[in-house]
Amino acid sequence: MANNTVDKDIFFTISENDITGFLLWKVNNYWQREFKKKFEKLELTHSQLFLLFGILHMNSLNKEVTQKDISVKAGIDPMTTSTVLRTLQKKGWINRKYNKKDSRTKLISITQNGKQIIEEASKIIHEFNNSFFKPLEDKQKYFQNDLILLSKDELNDEEISKLQVNNNCWKNNENNN
């Protein structure tokens, strides 16, 4: 009987932060589940897409991209990055070759097939995000601002600057706090 009392006490002491954490977890799971469904036909996972976008971006800046670079940029641990990159290479979406300047590292570049996958994926993700976030309508910038605030320890200065430029309400909210 004492255990039932303890269980009831736990549920009566749920804070606003507990509710917010639960809702964030639910929305994140829902977004990922729906994302996965949309990309099944391309046989593309979220991690694969994220790394492909990162490689394409860095290649477009004419930067030599190493596995370590993309791991750091993506915020994905090196072992997972290595596994995902091997899969992308097997699919013919990236090339990995030894770096002539440092034989311990591999340089990564996107293939034409990889670019085509990104093009297809970009259309899907654009449609998906438009549909998923439609309920936010005019509140979306404020939602983004809240996410930036919660993610500030995970974002680097460059990312924060770019997000702030694209988010008009950032300055307005910053001035109100």
Domain definitions of the chain by residue range: 39-132, 137-177
63-72, long-range: CB < 8 A, 24+ apart: 64/99, 64/107, 65/107, 65/108, 65/109, 66/99, 66/105, 66/106, 66/107, 66/108, 67/96, 67/105, 67/106, 67/108, 68/105, 70/108
User: What confidence tens digit (pLDDT) does each residue in 56-114 have?
Assistant: 988 888 888 999 889 988 889 999 999 999 999 999 999 999 888 888 888 999 999 99
pLDDT of residue 7: 62
pLDDT of residue 102: 84
Residues linked to residue 18 through DSSP beta bridges, in sequence order: none
pLDDT of residue 172: 46
* Neighbouring residues of 51: CB distance < 8 A, sequence distance ≥ 6: 70, 74, 76, 81, 84, 85, 88
User: What confidence tens digit (pLDDT) does each residue in 4-59 have?
Assistant: 555 666 666 778 888 899 999 999 999 999 999 999 989 999 899 999 999 998 88
pLDDT of residue 98: 87
CATH 3.30.565.10 fits 39-132, yes or no: no
pLDDT of residue 93: 97
pLDDT band at 175, cuts 50/70/90?
A: very low
Distance of CA 151 to the CA centre of its chain: 12
